[in-house]
Chains A and B, each alone.
Chain A
Amino acid sequence: MPVSTNEQGEPIWRLRTSRAQWLGYLAWLAGISLFLLCWKLISDNTMWVFVEDAGRQGSDLISRMLPPQWSYAHRLWQPMWDTLNIATLGTLLGIAMAFPVAFLAARNTSPHPLVRSAALVVIVSSRSINSLIWAMLLVTILGPGVLAGIIAIALRSIGFVGKLLYEAIEEIHPTPVEAINATGASRMQVMSYAVLPQVMPAFAGISVYRWDINIRESTVLGLVGAGGIGLQLNAAINSLAWNQVSVIFLMIFVTVLASEWVSARVRRAII
């Protein structure tokens, strides 16, 4: 007979000890209380008259969007092209900067712990600020336009690409690196010969993935004046031209769909 209880008749093994069980109950209690508290706060701060009205307002908005004003579309090609350029050039600029940063940030390729910390700070600051906020800052510095958009996208991409790439670098097989070191190769030769080939698929995948995200992000940069289709969107909303807004939405939708398809194809081809 398998022995699963001790002399006192208590089970030798269970999923959770009774202490862990009590902690679990407490955590649930705390969670539910917090949820109810938040619920009350939100509802106290909501004007329920407006919310009750939401259905009618929504259907009204949709009726004003329809039918879309198709003749407006021809004025969107140029801004849409700008948007694609912001995304693509911004991504290229971003990955060009992220590439060295990732090598400095990865534990196994960083020349010094201090350099590594500095690189991590670059990555974290880039990641902690949204593209839209980067764009707002850059529009104030550079003035409105496509350039501010490109740089905003690039700055945000550094963190994203840098983080995923340095994680990929830390996950490479160390043994080929050791073998190349043993041939008497220099540090940079080891990077290019033993590390780079191992992270190339990840790097390409990450870059295309970020490009796909950047297409979406660059559609809204115009809201703060950083060029692209967002400018038109902002103008149309401000002038209450809802049937133009719907054309813009459709256009963005189709573009994002296309970019998603392209990036999925490219990533499948690489991996």
Chain B
Amino acid sequence: MLEISNLVKRYGHDEAVLKGLDLTVEGNSVVAIVGASGAGKSTMLRCINRLVEPTSGSIKLNGNELVKLRGAALRRARRKIGMVFQGFNLIDRLTVMENVLAGRLGYVSLYQAISRRYPQADIERAFHLMERVGIAHYANKRADELSGGERQRVGVVRALMQEPEVLLADEPTASLDPRTSEQIMILLQSLASELELPVLINIHNVAQAKTYTERIVGLRHGKMIFDGAPADFNKEALDAIYGGIEAPDDEITEAPTRVGEGVSHDQA
């Protein structure tokens, strides 16, 4: 269970980017975080694995407070948090297998990492997961020889190699073509239930968010202004999140059907 409470993040002396967020994600639910560019979606996700230092507030993963951790304790906590990135963030010059095994770095020694002598169990887990997402035959290829969709699968497997207790995905499909991005969304959705893993997905595409997730959280200017089921995500909520901001081209492709049931608490 992931519990975020009163999370505040301010970069330097600027206005706060996150203004006291509260969010609890339980079980194996898939949560979409939507919001205009600059709303603070990435910042929120990165506070969870401390790629960004929160200014104040609390983030607990299965009861374990993450915000104050440092050094080895932080690294131990991080290995339980998988992350998938918009730009895949693979190491291009290494093979797919090496990239995938990077997910085990938190569990092996420096010598094992440098000499690539990973435990047999890790290698088996790697093949198992690569087969699951359909990239096992690329194991020995260099990561930069793969297509975008395949590279994102490598990214997903790398995150799952960590045996994570939560999976964070920061716009995992934004660099992919529509068809491939649907496939990645389906993959994330089914992995969440197979591995009983909560998944938080930052996403631009509202139609995809509604189709592939079971809960939508809307951010605007660092505040949560919608939290509800996809069915309740109506035109009103959409306007509250994107209103006055130029909307992304693909976000109104699926017109909302029901009106007036979303928990919309617009404070803007």
Contacts and interface: CB of A to CB of B under 8 A. Distances in A.
Interface string A172-215: 00011011111111101100111001101100000000000000
Given A179-B83, A180-B105, A192 B114 contact: yes
A182 B83 contact: yes
Interface string B75-105: 1111111010101011111100000001111
A181 B89 CA distance: 11
B43 interface: no
B76 A184 contact: yes
A194 B91 contact: yes
B120 to A, nearest CB: 20
A228 B89 CA distance: 49
B106 interface: yes
Contacts of B114: 192
B52 to A, nearest CB: 10
A156 to B, nearest CB: 30
A178 B105 contact: no
Nearest to A201: B93
Interface in A132-186: 175-176, 178-186
Nearest to B74: A184
Task: Give the interface size class of chain A.
Answer: 20 to 34
A186 B75 contact: yes
Contacts of B87: 175
Interface in A38-75: none
B81 A189 contact: no
Q: How big is the B interface, by class?
A: 20 to 34
Contacts of B155: 179
Given A183-B79, A183-B158, A197 B106 contact: no
B91 A185 contact: no
B108 to A, nearest CB: 8
A182 B91 contact: no
A172 B49 CA distance: 22
A183 B51 contact: no
B178 to A, nearest CB: 24
B78 A182 contact: yes
B106 A184 contact: yes
B75 A184 contact: yes
Contacts of A186: 75, 105, 110
Contacts of B139: none
Given A192-B110, A193-B91, A185 B49 contact: no
Contacts of B91: 176, 180, 193-194, 197-198
23 contacts: A175-B89, A176-B92, A178-B89, A179-B90, A179-B158, A182-B49, A182-B78, A182-B81, A183-B104, A183-B162, A184-B77, A185-B75, A185-B102, A185-B105, A185-B113, A186-B110, A188-B110, A189-B105, A189-B110, A192-B114, A193-B94, A193-B102, A197-B91
Interface of A: 175-176, 178-186, 188-189, 192-194, 197-198, 200-201
